[in-house]
Amino acid sequence: MLTFTLRRLLVAIPTLLFISLIIFLLVDLAPGSPLSDIPLTVPPDVRQRMIEALGADQPVFVRYLLWLRQFFWVEPAYLLDGWLGTSLAEGEQRILSWQSRSPVFTVIGQRLPQTLTVIGTAYLLGVAIALPIGIYSAYRQYSMFDQFGTLFAMIGFSVPTFFSGTLFIIIFAVWLGWFPTKYDTQLSVTDWATFVEQLRQMALPVMTLGLANAAVISRYMRSSMLDNMTQDYVRTARAKGMPERTVVLKHVLRNSMIPVVTVIALGIPSIFGGAIITENLFGVNGIGAALIGAINASDLPMVQTLAFIFAVLIVAFNLIADVLYGLLDPRIRYD
């Protein structure tokens, strides 16, 4: 298992380098200029100097190699400096956002907590709802509960979040007045009252995303349970006189979780990616919103860095899913 993991990590290096090149070139090929927001009254020679100041006049491969160095060497050095108080970075140039002129990772550091709190909670909640629904739906296939579960999943699947989110705002915020319509990113949790306030403002985006997540995962869970429920070993467990609880929640569930864990693990990068539409709808100033803003402003370093971070996460969680698969299923050995 260890050799497998190490080998996969080594293979991930060229993969990620290749991905980074593709991302860099694609983003660079896209039309637009970092100065498109600057008024046309600014004289051309000033514009030229601004472009030079950003480093945007350099050839693409020069910028790519510089970015690589900054991403893999300078930024980790700053991170370590921040943690350990060392001075590895020695004031080297960081990846700067063309929009705000501040380091890209500072922006990410500001935005990521919002995204992780809201979308992470929604994902956890979605999983926590989906697993019991999937398990019980499969155990009582075609029962009323299963029919409702199917309906719920169909709604979660087919209704886009911009619709369900708006609907939730109208019902729960406007009509009932239970929750605020907007997410206040300035709110800091210091005591019980602010904690409750935080929960209230998270409620609607978490519900919106949680429904969509739960729909997908409950379907996977249900079909995986159904696949296993008719296996011979289930009959063996019953023949041993095991109570239904043990049969279903131990024998069947352990086998059914193998594919579902993979699905859940592969879904985690999307938490970091943010849910662009939902973040916009509720005013959660997270990573998704940052990415959209950066794209609109042709802030290439920001877009490239974010896109590449998502790529790293996807590669990492693929590996984690594979390792989990091996841990859960004794038949799979990677050596």
Positions that interact with another protein (CB under 8 A):
231-233, 235-243, 246, 251, 254-255, 258, 328-331
Which residue lies nearer to another protein by CB, 54 or 237? 237
Pairwise CA distance, residues 37 & 100, whole Å: 12
Pairwise CA distance, residues 187 & 179, whole Å: 15
The dihedral formed by the CA atoms of 283, 284, 286 and 292, expressed in degrees to the nearest 10: -20
Kindly state the smallest distance separating residue 30's Cβ from another protein, in Å.
Answer: 48
Which residue lies nearer to another protein by CB, 79 or 328? 328
Pairwise CA distance, residues 289 & 24, whole Å: 20
Which residue lies nearer to another protein by CB, 231 or 296? 231
Kindly state the smallest distance separating residue 236's Cβ from another protein, in Å.
Answer: 5
Kindly state the smallest distance separating residue 224's Cβ from another protein, in Å.
Answer: 13
Pairwise CA distance, residues 287 & 272, whole Å: 7
| Residue that is written with structure tokens 């996969």 in the block | 8
Pairwise CA distance, residues 138 & 135, whole Å: 5
Which residue lies nearer to another protein by CB, 49 or 235? 235
Kindly state the smallest distance separating residue 257's Cβ from another protein, in Å.
Answer: 9
Which residue lies nearer to another protein by CB, 177 or 241? 241
Numbers of helices and strands, H then E, in the chain: 15, 0
Which residue lies nearer to another protein by CB, 139 or 168? 139
- Which residues on adjacent β-strands are paired with residue 96? 103
All residues at 6 or more sequence positions from 173 whose CB lies less than 8 Å from its CB, including other chains:
179, 180, 181, 204
Kindly state the smallest distance separating residue 235's Cβ from another protein, in Å.
Answer: 6
Residue type, 11: V
Beta strands in 62-198, from DSSP E residues, in sequence order: none
Kindly state the smallest distance separating residue 225's Cβ from another protein, in Å.
Answer: 14
